[in-house]
Every structure is written in structure tokens, then in C-alpha cells.
Amino acid sequence: MPEQITAIVTGHSRGLGAAIAAELLTRGAKVLGLARKGNPALAAAHPGRLTEVALDLADPVALAEWLPGLGAHLGGAGPVLLVNNAGMVEPIGPAGTLDPSAIARAVALNVTAPLMLADALIAVTEGADDRRILHVSSGAARNAYAGWSLYCATKAALDHHGRAVAEDKRPGLRIESLAPGVIDTDMQAAIRATTEAQFTLRERFVGLKESGGLASPEDCARRLVAHLIGPAFGASPVTDLRDI
């Protein structure tokens, strides 16, 4: 992929999203970061190539109002990438104990925003030769865990969206819903902060942290971006980075 890459990365302000944005910028891409907060360090390190938009992706109305301007950020004839990274693991707890507003926010951030962005990108890049959409999924999309009904369901939605869009066979479009593995981010800290009553597998994740079993965001981002811009991306709509 020698041409100028333009990439949209959601949740670029921290964690895996920040690492993905940094890796893309290091490889010479222009990056549009969408998040509630900016990433001053990343912007300073890559002046002129990181554009940041302050946007609450859990607010579908705000996102819908912003989307008509998406095309203005996608100048040039090179490849266009969308990395739907932003997400949340909360609310955590058994069915019947979850706050309705927390359920709505999780669905909006984990499902509604990625699908809105994907559809808008496909529309605005009609006729482009190389456009790629990456949903950051999870093993929880493919395996059910007590206490994670919302997280499992929302990540499974991304997987099935990837499958269905692949069936549309839009010209020049590749899509993949990829589980990146267990990464040392704030999401893992939120999991460890739960109680056994909320999440029965809590001690397993505590053990992963204590034993050094969590991958670093930077290492994951290097492998993920290499795959994203590589020739095999999109060959299967649902994948796991650990199998690539």
C-alpha cells in the first residue's frame, strides 16, 4: 500500500486507539481522530498529519450531525481506512442488575457509532479503489461470559455486521471484525475493579495482569496495522489477531 493513506481512528486519545493512531502516523498516514478528548502528545509528535475532532461517539444525534462533513476529511485518491476502536466493557453484572441508561450508552458506543461511521464511509468513498473498515471486536463476541451480556452482545453485533457487509460485495471495500487479544488498557483496569458478584471471571483477569499476560497496546497496534494495510485484510470478515 504505497499510496498516501487516510485513516479514521475512533477513541484515539488513549489505550489501543492511541497506539493504532501512532502506528499509522509513524507509517506516514494522515489520521482523523474521533474522541471526546484530544491527544496533545500525539498531535505534537506528528504536526499537520493528525486532525482531531471532539465528539461523544455515544451520542448518536451528535454523530449524525457531524457525519455530513466526513468527506471533507478524506481528500486524495489513496486508500481510506476506518478503525472502529472506541468501545466500553461496562455495564458489567448479571442480567437484571444493569442500569437502563448504561445499557443504552454501551449499545450507542459499541454498536450504533461503528455502524453509522461504516455506512457513511462506504457512501462517501463510492468509486474508491481501496477502502477498508476494521471493527475492533473481542473474543467475547464469540464466547459467552457471565456478567458480560452487554459486552458480548455488542461485540457480536460487530462481527455479524462484518459478515453481512462482506456479502454486499461493494466494489473496492474490505471489512473485517478482528479480536485483538487481551491488552493492558483502561478497559482491563475496569474489569479488575469489578466484584466477583458482578463478574465471576474477575480473578482470571487479575492473574493475567500480575503474571504479565497482557499484551501492550503498542505491540498489538504494530501487528494490527500491519495486517490492516496488508494484502490479506478482509479475506475473512471475522478474525483473531492471535491467529494471524
Per-residue pLDDT of the chain (244 residues; tens, 9 = 90+): 557 999 999 999 999 999 999 999 999 999 999 999 999 999 999 999 999 999 999 999 999 999 999 999 997 668 999 999 999 999 999 999 999 999 999 999 999 999 999 999 999 999 999 999 999 999 999 999 999 999 999 999 999 999 999 999 999 999 999 999 988 788 888 889 898 889 888 888 888 888 888 889 999 999 999 999 999 999 999 999 999 9
62 CB neighbour count, 10 Å cutoff: 12
H-type alpha helices, the chain: 15-26, 40-45, 60-66, 100-107, 113-124, 149-168, 186-192, 202-210, 217-228
Cis peptide before 91 (omega within 30 of 0): yes
Which neighbouring-strand residues pair with 136? 178
pTM for this one?
Answer: 0.94
State how far the Cα of 55 lies from the Cα of 35, in Å rounded to an integer. Answer: 5
Question: Out of 151, 199, 205, 233, which one is annotated catalytic?
Answer: 151
State how far the Cα of 242 lies from the Cα of 223, in Å rounded to an integer. Answer: 10
> Known catalytic residue: 151?
yes
State how far the Cα of 99 lies from the Cα of 79, in Å rounded to an integer. Answer: 41
State how far the Cα of 85 lies from the Cα of 36, in Å rounded to an integer. Answer: 13
| pLDDT at residue 77 in the model | 62
> Domains in the chain, please, with CATH?
6-181+217-243 (3.40.50.720)
